[in-house]
Structure 1
Amino acid sequence: MVALSNVRFSKHNDDVRSTQDALIAAGFSIPQGATGVFDDQTRAAYAAWQRKLGFTDKQADGFPGCASLTKLGHQAGFEVACRHPGAIATDVVRFVKNTNVPKSEATAQGFAVTACEMTGAPPTWVTGVKNRANLLTLMFRESSFNANAVNTADVNAKGPVQVDGARFNCSRGYAQVTAETFAENHQEGTSEHIYDPVANISAAINYIWRRYGDISRVQQANPNLPPHPY
């Protein structure tokens, strides 16, 4: 069984190695071989696989999706688990705010580093990747480094009012994730409280991986580009 959540850019694990073995067996070149590290060579090989399947443009960007990885698994003889392993039910999400969390970049950075360690995201997601996109830019734009931030006015502000006084699916916390996004992308080993800094940022990281493939593709995280919802 290969977990889609493990086959992500910059990750290093056996599921990446199985994917690389499958790509090589299918005739796609990875010069360094099956190292278990999802690097640029692996991304290029995977993009070639996507093109073989008929995907074009952004659908053939080298970042695995459920459909393309499942087809590769069928060919190579392994099954693919597409559901995030840490996902929780939405009725388990809790809405109690933090106490005594300073509104500062240094504090937010510490939580972001821990979230990267929990999720396996590279440290450069905090310091900045090649195009300078980083979590701190995203968090500042989303919440001004306020761990208790909640948006009660955007299109997500729907559902029953919770104990924090906001509707169920309002965007919350450092990275402004909704309850549905938090539950679907919840990181195993973190709190079920949506305002919890590490849990909140970890869910955002997992969401970015699933939707964009890499933080470099998130405009809201790129200080060279104007703010844009992610």
Structure 2
Amino acid sequence: RIMVLRYGNLIEEGVTRDLLDDPKEKYTRELLSVRSFRKERYQPDKDRSVILEVRNMSASYIKGIKVVDNINLKINRGKTVAVVGESGSGKTSLARVITGMLPPLEGKIIFDGQELAPALKSRDRESLRRMQMIYQMPDVALNPRQKIRKILGRPLTFYFGMTGKERENRIIELLEITELPEKFTERYPGELSGGEKQRVCIARAIAAKPDLIICDEVTSALDQLVAEEILKLLHNLQREMNE
């Protein structure tokens, strides 16, 4: 499914193929006119349970100015929902609200049937593990003073208590999954390309074995070819993790 935001408001929502073929709102049509999409045969998936539900969500950075306003959203397990809109439309703010980095003014976040605490610091470790976020700028998301081994090892220890050989084997496995060589364990983020750094961010996210991954414009800082590779990787990982 796709939902279209503008100025924090929901403009339109619908099944991906239906919305791309026949958008109802002028703003959606303007967005789609910017670039063309390759059409693929649409095959409806089997019914899946709802993993995330956002109810009547509003949030603000400054009192009296809402950056998202009365947003409702449902995401089924194993599905992809694209939130689209121009810069400043509220996409990142919505992601921050869902992950608890921006506590909402009102509304509820229901994750796998349980209401989550509004603020990140109030959520338990298991809730944190099950919902991961991949950020727009890998240069900011990765600690430049830590080697890739430590970056990937931290969630393994934090969430699963892994140490020693078990953790090392899993780090190597995560690199293989994201199509990075084992030798990268000894490198710093500054020694990697933009696409390689984003793959490390993906590896760190899946290290937690999450049920939901939120991607905040993960290809916007990459050139077109590298961006396509990252999207293919995410698509393949989603398919493999839901088999």
TM-score bracket, shorter-length normalisation: under 0.3
TM-score, with structure 2 as normaliser: 0.25
TM-score, with structure 1 as normaliser: 0.26
